[in-house]
Amino acid sequence: MPKPKCLLFDIGNVLVELNGRPIQQQWLKQKLSLEDNWRAWIESPIAIAFETGEIGQQEFGDAIVNQLRLNISSQEFLSHFKVWPHRVYPKVFETLEVLRENYILAIFSNTNGLHWSYLMSELELQGKFDYYFASHLIGMAKPQPAAFTKVLEWMNVDAQEVLFLDDNQANINAASQLGIQTELVLGFEQAIKVLQAREIL
């Protein structure tokens, strides 16, 4: 397996710890299992539209509250949703400094305007990477193969020159099918172990 030239990171559950689920159980009038709760979120056409930049945050908040019949207002939901990204995992920044000496560093995240500004400013991810690919800005989201293809084009690298780290198996599968090197990780400690095992760190 060739050593990659580029390290492509997801954000949530890889670089940044998330604060539980985006939809809290106590907001639901009809209770769901944690698995069904998560599926309702990732398969929601409203969430997908928000993360690909098709709708704004107020329309998103109103629609999610109505679609899932939440017992809070859209403003309350958006206030909680903004801080779903909780904190940058320990060791992220110092590890990125070391990696940046020898590798192209990039982010590819399914995200939105509300979170993006928070991640870049409050959580200070701005300036730590060579490339930033946010789904709401490029108009495409993982696991769409076309999204990965465009990311490769924009970075001017071949698929096999990239190592992609993500916490979602569907995203890993899509990237692998294009020839991208992949690793499924949950949390930055796992990411460090993967990078050490590959002699990247």
- Provide the pLDDT confidence category of residue 91 given band limits of 50, 70 and 90: very high
pLDDT at position 35 over 90: no
What's the chain's average pLDDT?
94
Q: Please, which residues have CB within 8 angstroms of residue 128's CB and are 6 or more apart in sequence?
A: 93, 96, 100, 105
Lateral strand order in the sheet of 181-184: 131-134, 104-109, 6-9, 162-166, 181-184
- Provide the pLDDT confidence category of residue 189 given band limits of 50, 70 and 90: very high
The CATH number of domain 6-17+86-197 is 3.40.50.1000: yes
pLDDT at position 183 over 80: yes
- Provide the pLDDT confidence category of residue 33 given band limits of 50, 70 and 90: confident
Domain boundaries in the chain?
6-17+86-197, 20-82
Q: What is the mean pLDDT of residues 62-78?
A: 92
Instruction: Give the percent of the chain with pLDDT over 90.
Output: 84
